[in-house]
Amino acid sequence: MRKPSAIRRLTKRSNIIADRLRLARRLHEPPLTLQATSELVTAKTGYTITKTMLIRIEGNQRSVYDYEVLALAEALNVDVRFLLGQTEDPATF
């Protein structure tokens, strides 16, 4: 079994988008369930992110690839920088 990275050992987190992803789902009009988010990502981007993957991402149990962050941002219509915690404004530009 592979050892967790040094950052993961220090922060106890697998990714930095968990909280912002949950918030983006709640800010969406109408608010989205995990299942609805999964379906929206597939419909809008063609990339499959399952409900189980979302549960693990939001629970900080799974790392996120860059293309997954992009697909989630596109599907939820938020700025990638919002998911990454670099801006408080979820609006895309």
Q: In the predicted model, is pLDDT for residue 1 greater than 90?
A: no
Band (20; pLDDT cuts 50, 70, 90): very high
Q: Which domain holds residue 45?
A: 16-83
- Report d(CA 45, CA 74) in Å as an integer: 7
Measured from the Cβ of residue 70, the count of other Cβ atoms closer than 10 Å reads 14
In a domain, 88, yes or no: no
Query: pLDDT of 51-60, one tens digit each?
Result: 999 999 999 9
Q: How many structural domains is the chain composed of?
A: 1
Residue 65 near residue 14, CB atoms below 8 Å: no
Q: Using one digit for the tens of pLDDT, what is the confidence trace for 49-88?
A: 999 999 999 999 999 999 999 999 999 999 999 999 999 9
Instruction: Record the tokens describing residue 24, joined without a space.
Output: 């983006």
CATH number at residue 26: 1.10.260.40
The proportion of the chain whose per-residue pLDDT surpasses 70, expressed as a percent, equals: 86
pLDDT at 84: 95
**pTM of the shown model:** 0.86
